[in-house]
Structure 1
Amino acid sequence: MAKEILAKIKLQCPGGQATPAPPVGPALGQHGVNIGQFVKQFNDKTKDLQGVLTPVEITVYKDKTFTFILKSPPASVLLKQLAGIAKGSSEPNRQKVGQVTTQQLKEIASKKLADLNADNLDAAIKVVEGTARNMGIKVID
């Protein structure tokens, strides 16, 4: 028989650097989860993503145990890394702040394909390209 689910929690934590401080501690503490255990497991699984914002979906069960699923980092975070910028443009239609190549878009789209609402790689590339355009990042060939 499957365990009864108490809650599903979605968080974004820096890879390999999660701490019991907010937002992790309060989100898990209110459901009675062992925060230290989660932080240790999360940091162990994400040690190769040092500092990269990583979404995680935590399922808390009635007996206070938990499981979690790591998602791929947001496209905006990956685009900022590749373009070498700190943040997107405040006026993306007028002011461009960086540029990425279509090959780099393809790499990001292939990483994110499982988490995107897209059936194939071409559709995923279009999603990531739209994110880049909304951030003021120019796509070049």
Structure 2
Amino acid sequence: MSKVLGKMKKIGKMGKKVVEKVDHSSKLRVNIPAGLASAAPPLGSQLGQRNINIEKFCKDFNNKTGNIKEGIPLPCRVKVKSDRSYDLVIHKPPTIYYLKQAAGIQKGRIKKGEVAGKITLKHLYEIAKIKLEDPPNALLNLEQMCQMIVGIARTCGIEIVREIDPEEYNQFLKDREVEVLRYREQLQLAKESKVLRTN
């Protein structure tokens, strides 16, 4: 019996060694709001898993994004080196962020087939030019980038039109805001009734 226990302990120790050697140098892909990196989860725990000095990283990121409007989501790629240092690549905000900004909306479509907002072809080209600067899109041309953005716009309910009548569109946005508020209220009521049912 003691021999068996001894073997089990040995196997346990070997397992421990294997666990300790797990490589956390995998590239971290994360969206961080400009100027707002903090040690709080989820970012803090993601950095901690990779043995990155959290305080140093947050300070570094916030300094690098100090010239960008606070809170804008920035996709980041972090490659960890064996000496715990890292390479930080900060990309332009996600396409969806630009589309919503151009359309003047906070929320994409709520239900299938709904038009959540509109942008012009000019907006489309401007966004495409900005997104072409991101390293992953380096091999794309303007036309391919535009096609990609058209697809993303379609999924979030943003229509691409030749021109927009400002007054008409303002009214559309006001009406839609009412719809979004109604939708949020329904969600809240559904959550509350679910809580009541479980109590």
Same fold (TM over 0.5): yes
RMSD of aligned Cα (Å): 1.7
Query: Post-superposition shift, 1:106?
Result: 0.7
Among residues 145, 153, 168, which one is paired with 1:124 in the alignment?
145
Query: Post-superposition shift, 1:105?
Result: 0.8
The runs of 5 or more residues in structure 2 that have no matched partner are 1-23, 163-199
Q: What CA distance in whole angstroms lies between the structure 1 residues aligned with 2:35 and 2:124?
A: 25
Query: Post-superposition shift, 1:117?
Result: 7.5
Q: What CA distance in whole angstroms lies between the structure 2 residues aligned with 1:82 and 1:89?
A: 15
Q: What CA distance in whole angstroms lies between the structure 1 residues aligned with 2:140 and 2:53?
A: 37
Partner of 1:13: 32
Task: Flag the 1:88–1:57 CA change in 2: closer, same or farther, 3 A.
Answer: same
Partner of 1:140: 161
Query: Post-superposition shift, 1:46?
Result: 1.4
Among residues 95, 110, 114, which one is paired with 1:75 in the alignment?
95
Q: What CA distance in whole angstroms lies between the structure 2 residues aligned with 1:39 and 1:22?
A: 12
Secondary structure of the corresponding residue to residue 43 of structure 1: helix
Partner of 1:89: 109
Conserved 8 A contact 1:56-1:70: yes
Partner of 2:74: 54
Between Structure 1 and Structure 2, how many residues are aligned?
136
Q: Deviations over 1:82-123 (max 9, x none)?
A: 11111110234x210111011111111111113338620011
Partner of 1:109: 128
More helix by share: 2
Q: Which has the larger radius of gyration?
A: 2
- 1:126 maps to a residue whose letter is Q
Conserved 8 A contact 1:80-1:86: yes
Q: Deviations over 1:58-80 (max 9, x none)?
A: 11111111111011211111111
Q: What CA distance in whole angstroms lies between the structure 1 residues aligned with 2:129 and 2:159?
A: 20
Q: What CA distance in whole angstroms lies between the structure 2 residues aligned with 1:120 and 1:69?
A: 22
- 1:119 maps to a residue whose letter is L
Relative contact order: is structure 1 or structure 2 higher (C-alpha 8 Å, sep ≥ 6)?
Answer: 1
Conserved 8 A contact 1:118-1:124: no
Name the TM-score, length of structure 1 as normaliser: 0.89
- 1:101 maps to a residue whose letter is T
Could you tell me the percent identity over the aligned residues?
35
The runs of 5 or more residues in structure 1 that have no matched partner are none
**Stretches (4+) displaced over 6 A:** none
More strand by share: 1
